Chain A
Amino acid sequence: MIETSLLTKRYGNFTAVDNISFKAEPGQVLGFLGPNGAGKSTTMKMLAGFLAPTTGNAKICGFNVEDQPLEAKRAIGYLPEGAPSYGEMTPLAFLEFIASIRGLTGKQRKQRLDDVIGRLQLESVLGQSIDTLSKGFKRRVGLAQAILHNPKVLILDEPTDGLDPNQKHQVRDLINAMSKDKVIVISTHILEEVHALCNRAIIIAGGKLLADATPAELEARSRYHMAVSLTVNDIDKARQILSGIADIERIEVDPQDRRLTAFPHSGKQILNAVSTALSTQQLHISELQLESGRLDEVFRSITEPHNREARA
């Protein structure tokens, strides 16, 4: 449904997007992760047909975005970064305008308008000009515009940016509800979002595709993967006991919350050994957790060598 091959965008000597190739099928919610300035938005702009690639190509539902732009654009719903719209219009007039452009007529038009207005809870602000709306409402108007024609491909550039936690939750529910038969690409730098929304994550930095995996696979790359963390009343004693377990490679104590983490030798399971060893002693364990891996740490280790803004 979305297929890019060696997609590249250059501005003079600067390469914003560097030979990115991937393929996404219906049912996938693909998260674009990357630091600011990594090339996420530029990639999405090329997918949506706003920017022409310097080399390489992108296909939406089989239509090349450069050769058959109208067919490709019809299949896409796109939320640009910052959810721009026409501020002097009311959400209703704006959505009516989009419906006309998208060729929606008659019963179907009314049904689609009612559907998105309901889903995004815009009823209360339909007659107010968009300029006067809160950031959350503006974002929802942008989302309503993107899903109005029930597109096969949804491209959302930072859909939850600037929303409060409740609104974020609503938008995530909305995206999850639509994900079954669509290809959805979202960009974000909020890592918790990847867990909440995506079944596939692509990490981009310095314009290059650095990782393409499920969130769980990414977490498995973390040094915290399969480590055991616990909070205990007597750290020194716990440390002493744990250092006697052969499968533990290293023990660290978080200087801030005094939480103790035991890292296994690779491939070893240590949860049982840790809990057995500690329970035989007179220790008070208030919390014990098997870590699945820390995405933020994986994200940093992958992107840091490529971070343009940090270098600049």
Chain B
Amino acid sequence: MNLIMTLFLRELRSYFVTPVAYVFIVIFLLLSGAFTFYLGEFFQREQADLEAFFIYHPWLYLFLVPAVSMRLWSEERKSGSIELLLTLPVTMWQTVAAKFLAAWSFIGISLLLTFPLWLTVNYLGEPDNGVIFTGYLGSLLMSGSFLAIGACLSAATRSQAVAFILSVVVCLLLLLAGFPMVLDFFRAIAPAGLVDAIAGLSFLTHYNAIAKGVINLRDLIYFLLSIGFWLYANAVVIDLKKAD
């Protein structure tokens, strides 16, 4: 546990010694604000909730999370520091977990910094803070799944740009699988069971439920399983590709 903590802190600090972290946080806050107020019509809705805020998070994460995850492993591979890291007396699991947790915490910090919105909605009305809390939880879980995908794909290449594009494409596919348009298309040609399976794979289906305040064990397990699966794949990819 101590070792994970040491690796975790080194990784998390590395975000803040370069301007990358600050640029990311500013962009995240600007975009999430813009989506909430312009696209989500926060004020015009005249409802004391943050649905207008959470509803756009999947699309925000689609580009911002791969921007965080792209450097996780590809940079280590490019600079050769992966050789140093993996010959220290730590296990592969400790390094994979520590790196993932550091990046996830970083996104978590960005998400926490949206608190003025929560203050605003509490000032303007009397929202159901339980629903807002599950909204944040769902958002964090979804960002974790995006991140695990990004971490795995980042281990597959030395190029951060390639890692970014691959991650965006895979995340987009998983998002679109739950899009009504896509599901309607499949409904026309595929049996209902298959349509349900496709919808069941989608981030969107599971996220929307949590973001609306409904905590369903199935949705929680879905996100945790997908994080676990992609991190396992991450370790396998590192083992396969570290020699090139």
> Residues of A with Cβ closer than 8 Å to B?
11, 45, 48-51, 69-70, 73-74, 76, 78, 80-82, 84-89, 93, 97-98, 100-102, 129, 145
Whole-angstrom distance between the alpha carbons of A50 and B244 in the complex?
12
Cβ contacts under 8 Å, A48 to chain B: 83, 87
Q: If A73-B88, A102-B89 touch, does A84 touch B14 (CB 8 Å cutoff)? A: no
Chain B minimum-CB-distance residue to A45: B83
Q: Does B18 sit at the interface, judged by CB under 8 A?
A: yes
- With A85-B84, A100-B6, A145-B84 as known contacts, state yes or no: A50 contacts B89, CB within 8 Å: no
Provide the bound-state CA to CA distance between A45 and B91, in Å: 16
A82–B14 CB distance below 8 A: no
Least CB separation from B6: chain A residue: A100
Q: Name the 6 nearest CB pairs between A and B, nearest first.
A: A84-B80, A80-B83, A73-B89, A100-B6, A84-B81, A48-B87
Query: Would B3 and A88 count as touching, CB distance under 8 A?
Result: no
B91: shortest Cβ distance to chain A, in Å? 7
A85 close to B87 (CB less than 8 A): no
Q: How far is the CA of A74 from the CA of B88 in the complex (A)?
A: 7
Q: How many cross-chain pairs have Cβ atoms below 8 Å apart between A and B?
A: 64
Q: Is the CB of A51 within 8 A of B243?
A: yes
Question: Which B residues lie within 8 Å of A97 (CB)?
Answer: 6, 10
B44 is an interface residue with CB less than 8 A from chain A: no
**B10, B13, B84, B242 — which one has the most chain A CB atoms within 10 A of its CB?**
B84
Chain A residues with CB under 8 A of B242: 50-51
| B38-86 with Cβ < 8 A to chain A | 79-81, 83-84, 86
> Which of B2, B81, B89, B91 is in CB contact (< 8 Å) with A86?
B81
Q: Which of B92-136 contact A (CB under 8 A)?
A: none
Pair A84/B84 contact, Cβ less than 8 Å: yes
A50 vs B81: C-alpha distance when bound (angstroms): 12
Determine whether the beta carbon of B80 is less than 8 Å from that of A98: no
CA distance A74 to B89 in the complex (A): 6
